[in-house]
Chain A
């Protein structure tokens, strides 16, 4: 039997005007039909930091993440505001293709296309009108270096992406996203299908990438959140319960539900 926690008692930090924010949501709610999956999420994401979203399965963290680049458009109803460069990108008349170019996403399961490594990266670039061969190959190298994959694949760019290991595939997916030069990178449990060694590689890559990108990562793995994130938000049954700097979250959680989740005596 799951313990009952009050949804009124939350501890969600806000940032002062000096902190530059990459993305901010105001009263974001998500409905799958009549199922109210996300309640009033008010979160702000500081630039060039890694923010981790943690919580049990079904807590709404992936649902929240997918709303940020409008991937929930055809599946769910999302209300509330998502502020990006002073624009509410949850408005229906916003160009979703443009949003997704600026807010990239990497999924739980490594999902490279059944094409060559090169084509996996050039796919989106070509789709956005980059045709120049030198520019294409420059951006291939840059993004593969960014995802710490260049040295492993530079001699086999024309091999099928599906011949790579799971960890390499996931880093290829990251490379594919950053080839579009986004501001924000959303990662939905990027390491849950990977072994520990590949996980370390991806984590190192993310730590390196936060210098250029704002990263929001959903993870089941609390150690991972502790290792790489600066800010951490804890989700519970569709509510944001606590949002604090990661150090605070793990050493001094503010409310009982977080304390119980962190210490493992949850439910």
Chain B
């Protein structure tokens, strides 16, 4: 009996020692803590920045409606934009933004998909060595340079071709086409490269030609990726300010045609931002334009997520 007790006691102290050894902090656990702390700090700062930006733009953007008592409907459907006289119909800018965005995406997508097919299927070596760097370079060119080229080359060309001032939606479309082309192309290339090789082999082994394989199997299976690419391109076009502002003419009127001066949400923002006084209606109205831009980019983001999810489902089931 006593002996058992003694043994128990001995075991107790031993297990206490082990308990101490296995619970005390070492360098490894401290590193864990520090690492976790640093990443939590970083994510915290970012969340704070994003949340305060959202709050700031939203609160400023809705001031037009809450403080200046402009009706939301009038803001969205009005066509008269003279904030200094209290008229803030944003429809011309909304139409302008959507017009240049869709036009640029529609023109750029076939070129982008064609280029991407060339780079992945027809000549992968040249694609990797020569075209890839070129496209990356195009992505990196600052928008003011594109705008400047647009102003110096595209606008005079349009003036020569169709008359008028040369400023307008068509010039903006052309400049945006060049700007979104590399974005759409490089993302399409990624999605084409992600198509499993065995799809291609299966198709070829069935006697399908290269063209049939590309058009019916590869493009089909890359469709969600290509749609995502197009939407990213559209988001870029929708948000582009400087280059558009330089070639679109900046007249806040409903666009009658593609070749007369118009304006977009972004161009109106950059044009007007210096001329208004904080807290007044003209200033608040600009914030409302910014709010529309923000909501639209959230919408583009959501759309990308929906498409990605759909694409995933299709592959799993």
A residues sitting closer than 8 Å to B (CB atoms) are 69, 71, 97-101, 104-105, 107, 109, 111-115, 123-124, 127-128, 160, 162-163, 173, 176-177, 180
Would A123 and B198 count as touching, CB distance under 8 A? no
The residue that B317 contacts in the complex, of A107, A123, A160, A180, with Cβ under 8 A, is: A160
B56 interface contact, C-beta 8 A? no
Q: Interface size bucket, B side?
A: 20 to 34
CB contact under 8 A between A109 and B206, given known A114-B315, A123-B216, A162-B317: no
The residue that B209 contacts in the complex, of A71, A97, A173, with Cβ under 8 A, is: A97
Within 289-317 of B, Cβ neighbours of A (below 8 Å) are at 314-317
B residues sitting closer than 8 Å to A (CB atoms) are 196, 198-199, 201-209, 212, 216-217, 220-221, 314-317
How far is A202 from B212 in the complex, measured between Cα atoms in Å?
A: 29
How far is A135 from B203 in the complex, measured between Cα atoms in Å?
A: 21
Would B315 and A69 count as touching, CB distance under 8 A? no
Would B206 and A162 count as touching, CB distance under 8 A? no
The residue that A111 contacts in the complex, of B201, B209, B314, with Cβ under 8 A, is: B201
Would A71 and B221 count as touching, CB distance under 8 A? no
Pick the 9 closest A-B CB pairs, nearest first: A101-B207, A124-B206, A105-B205, A111-B198, A100-B207, A111-B202, A127-B208, A127-B212, A97-B207
Residues of A within 8 A of B317 (CB): 160, 162-163
Would A97 and B208 count as touching, CB distance under 8 A? yes
- Say how far B168's CB is from chain A's closest CB, in angstroms: 43
CB contact under 8 A between A113 and B199, given known A97-B207, A180-B207: yes
- Say how far B242's CB is from chain A's closest CB, in angstroms: 42
How far is A115 from B221 in the complex, measured between Cα atoms in Å?
A: 9
Some 10 contacts from A to B, beta carbons below 8 A apart, are A104-B205, A107-B198, A107-B202, A107-B205, A111-B199, A113-B203, A123-B208, A127-B212, A127-B216, A160-B317
- Say how far A76's CB is from chain B's closest CB, in angstroms: 14
How far is A177 from B198 in the complex, measured between Cα atoms in Å?
A: 15
Residues of B within 8 A of A97 (CB): 207-209
Would A128 and B316 count as touching, CB distance under 8 A? no
Would A100 and B205 count as touching, CB distance under 8 A? yes
How far is A127 from B206 in the complex, measured between Cα atoms in Å?
A: 9
Would B198 and A109 count as touching, CB distance under 8 A? yes
Residues of A within 8 A of B207 (CB): 97-101, 124, 127-128, 180
Residues of B within 8 A of A177 (CB): 205-206
- Say how far A29's CB is from chain B's closest CB, in angstroms: 22
Would B205 and A162 count as touching, CB distance under 8 A? no
- Say how far B301's CB is from chain A's closest CB, in angstroms: 25
Would A113 and B202 count as touching, CB distance under 8 A? yes
Residues of A within 8 A of B221 (CB): 113-114
Residues of A within 8 A of B204 (CB): 71, 100
How far is A104 from B209 in the complex, measured between Cα atoms in Å?
A: 14
Would A180 and B206 count as touching, CB distance under 8 A? yes
The residue that A107 contacts in the complex, of B201, B212, B314, with Cβ under 8 A, is: B201
How far is A111 from B220 in the complex, measured between Cα atoms in Å?
A: 15
How far is A127 from B220 in the complex, measured between Cα atoms in Å?
A: 15
